[in-house]
Each structure stands twice: as structure tokens, then as C-alpha cells.
Structure 1
Amino acid sequence: MSLWPVLPERDREQWNYVPTVGVGPLRFGMTGDEAVAALDGFTGYVPPPDSRARDQNGLFRRHGDPAYETALYLYFDQPDGLYCVVPDARYGPQVILDGMRLVGQPPSQWEADLTGYLGARGMPLRYSPGGDAGSDELGIITSVQRAGDVVLTRPVLLVQRAWAYTLWDMVPAGEGDIYS
């Protein structure tokens, strides 16, 4: 067994991404309870709202997987509900946008695919100060995650909130880091 296992593509759930609407069975704006109910085949929870914190986050893994194999990271804002979905590069579902695979890809290939996709639609490619590619129009920001000697894409999928100037203003703390 590898110290850095990556779930084979054939074993991943296949979810579609619809910008500003949702990811697979998840819809932006859902409550934590609604998200838990929608994630059939996953185990996890969203803690109850905390009056001291504006955001909540939920961690989910596939039924039967060890607790350390987190497949999904969900972020909720009070009172707007689910605003950010981050599938894990190693264990998460494959998320597809118009045939483009977003999860577990080599970053250079993913960026080339995104550049072509945006260019064909007349949309700009944006970069964060840290060099992460993304698209405000699509609600996608590139993040990467280590898997042994390689890094794989771990997209941050967001719906822009009224107070944010760009998507990067809304990225949950720590999601811009390289994950192990």
C-alpha cells in the first residue's frame, strides 16, 4: 500500500459542476442539514452554527473509508448557506464541467484545459497573487494537493457572495495552501 494512495478514476463518484448552481447533489445556498441529506454514500457532518463564527465547515468521507480519507470539504456562511465545495484530489469525487475533469489532474494540463475552455467562451483567465489560475465567471480557483512526488488539482468551487470583490476574497482560510 502506498503512503500516498489516490483513488482510481473508476472508483470515484462522477459529479457535474454547474457554475453558480452546484456540484453533484449539492446546491449552493443549502443548509448543513440539507447537504448531509444530499450526500448519499458519504459520512460526515456540519457542526451547528456558532454565534461567534460566521463560517462553518463540514468534512465528508465515503462510507466505509477511514476518517483520515476526507473526500469533501464544504463551507457554509451564515445566513447564505453552502458557498464553497472542495473535492479532495486523492479521495474526492471527480467533478466535471462540460467534459473537463477538474479533480486529480496534473496542474499544467488542468490550466491548459481551463485556458482553452475560457478562451472559446470569451471569458478571462485570472491569477491570484500566488499564481493560482481561476475564473470568477465559473467560480473556480485552482488549488493543488500533494500525492507523493506529484501534485494534483484540488479545485475550490465557489459562488460569489455580495460582499466579495473577487472569488479569492472568499477562499476559506487554508484552502489556498498546498495540501498533503
Structure 2
Amino acid sequence: MTFRTEADSGVADRDEWSYASAVGVGPLRFGMAVEEVVEAAQVLGQTQVSDCARDHAIFSPTWKIEVRRGAAPFPLAVTAYVSRAVGLFCIAADAVHGPQVRYDGISLVGRDLSELESDAIAHAEAVDGHFRYTPEGYAGPDDPGVVMRGQLVGQVLRSRPLFMVRRDGANTEWDSMPSEEYRHGQSAPDVA
């Protein structure tokens, strides 16, 4: 069984962040308030906080925190979503500029989605475990807190994982996904 390295998948010069299911990613912990996320995200660079559109009345008001590597106009690396009711509930790692996060040795960020699927299948077979597909058909770890998304980078769809916990009124992490993330893979992202 062969797992691809970062060099094999075109990913270089990234920070390494750890992931702990239902706890958080890197310096970000689920449940943090907006001010705590901004302070913790300073390890990457500058942050910008904005309100999210309230597409679903069931959810409390939500803020989006964009974290850029350095000061503007540097590229977007991480997007964090904070709900008034539950605090930080979603962390999205940009496929091009986001930190690398591994799940049991498999690199999740910036991967060609077909290669990531092959690695997820090989890993599941090697450990006699499982993997999961999202409703869109993207393969990833068998962890409800990891929702794999696609991000168009040039002509290739790359992996943009969301690390999540359920937010107020949602049954699953998929139900909790911010509406901005549903639209994310539809157009070319910010790759300044």
C-alpha cells in the first residue's frame, strides 16, 4: 500500500495542523467565540470578520472569519464559521494556501480528489476500516467531523476539507454546512 506524500500531490510550503475529532484543528477549538478565533488564527496572518447570510431561520446568526497568510492582499488560507449559539463549528482549509491536515497519515488538503479517494480506499482496506462519501461523491475519512469538499484549482478539482461539529438545530455535520461552502466549488477561488 502506498500513500502519496505532499510532494506527490503538488502541495508544498504548508503549515501542519493536527486534527482531533470534536475538539478542533490546529490552534482552533470548536466552541470558540469570534474574538478567540481571531486571536488563535494570528499564527497564520490577518483576519477579516463578516456576517454570513442567514439562509436558514433555524440557525442562529453566524460570522465568517477569513484568515489570510500574512496581510492583505495575501491569499485566503482558512475560513472559520462561528455561530452565536454554539461558537466555532466549521473550519475550512483552502486547497491551495491552507494548512495541511492529516487523518491517520493521509493528507487531506489540496489533493486531487480521485487520488484522495484511492488513498482512502487503500487505507480502509489496510486497517480493515471504512471510509465515507459525501452526498456529492467525494471520498474521505470515516469521521462525521470531516466533510470533504471540492475546490476548483485551474482545471483540477482539489480537496477542501471542512472540519465540523453540528451547530444549533442541525441533525448532522452535513446539515450544519454554511451556505457559503455549498457555493464554494462552483467558481474559481481566491488564488492571489
The 3-state SS of whatever aligns with 2:178 is coil
Q: Does 2:48 match 1:41? A: no
Cα pair 1:18 1:97 within 8 Å, conserved? no
Deviations 1:34-62 (A, max 9, x none): 11111223101334899x96211111101
- TM-score computed with the length of structure 1 as normaliser: 0.81
Partner in structure 2 of residue 167 of structure 1: 173
The match for 2:78 among 60, 72, 75 is: 72
Matches within 5 A, 1:6-155: 9-39=11-41, 40-47=43-50, 54-64=61-71, 66-67=73-74, 69-117=75-123, 120=127, 122-123=129-130, 125-128=132-135, 130-133=136-139, 137-155=143-161
Q: CA deviation at 1:28?
A: 0.6
- TM-score computed with the length of structure 2 as normaliser: 0.76
The 3-state SS of whatever aligns with 1:112 is helix
Instruction: Return the alpha-carbon distance in structure 2 between the equivalents of residues 137 and 162 of structure 1.
Output: 20
Cα pair 2:132 2:139 within 8 Å, conserved? yes
Instruction: Return the alpha-carbon distance in structure 2 between the equivalents of residues 147 and 44 of structure 1.
Output: 23
Instruction: Return the alpha-carbon distance in structure 1 between the equivalents of residues 128 and 144 of structure 2.
Output: 11
The 3-state SS of whatever aligns with 1:44 is strand
Q: CA deviation at 1:166?
A: 2.1
Identity %, equivalent residues = 35
The 3-state SS of whatever aligns with 1:174 is helix
How big is the alpha-carbon RMSD for the aligned residues of Structure 1 and Structure 2? 2.7
Instruction: Return the alpha-carbon distance in structure 1 between the equivalents of residues 33 and 52 of structure 2.
Output: 10
Comparing 10-19 with 160-169, which one deviates more in the overlay? Answer: 160-169
Cα pair 1:59 1:70 within 8 Å, conserved? yes
Comparing 102-111 with 58-67, which one deviates more in the overlay? Answer: 58-67
Partner in structure 2 of residue 5 of structure 1: none
Matched positions, count? 171
Structure 2, gaps ≥5 residues long: 1-9
Instruction: Return the alpha-carbon distance in structure 1 between the equivalents of residues 128 and 33 of structure 2.
Output: 32
Instruction: Return the alpha-carbon distance in structure 2 between the equivalents of residues 115 and 162 of structure 1.
Output: 33
Which amino acid letter does the alignment assign opposite residue 55 of structure 1? T
Which amino acid letter does the alignment assign opposite residue 21 of structure 1? V
Q: CA deviation at 1:76?
A: 0.7
Cα pair 2:113 2:138 within 8 Å, conserved? no
Cα pair 1:136 1:167 within 8 Å, conserved? no
Instruction: Return the alpha-carbon distance in structure 2 between the equivalents of residues 102 and 11 of structure 1.
Output: 15
Structure 1, gaps ≥5 residues long: 1-7
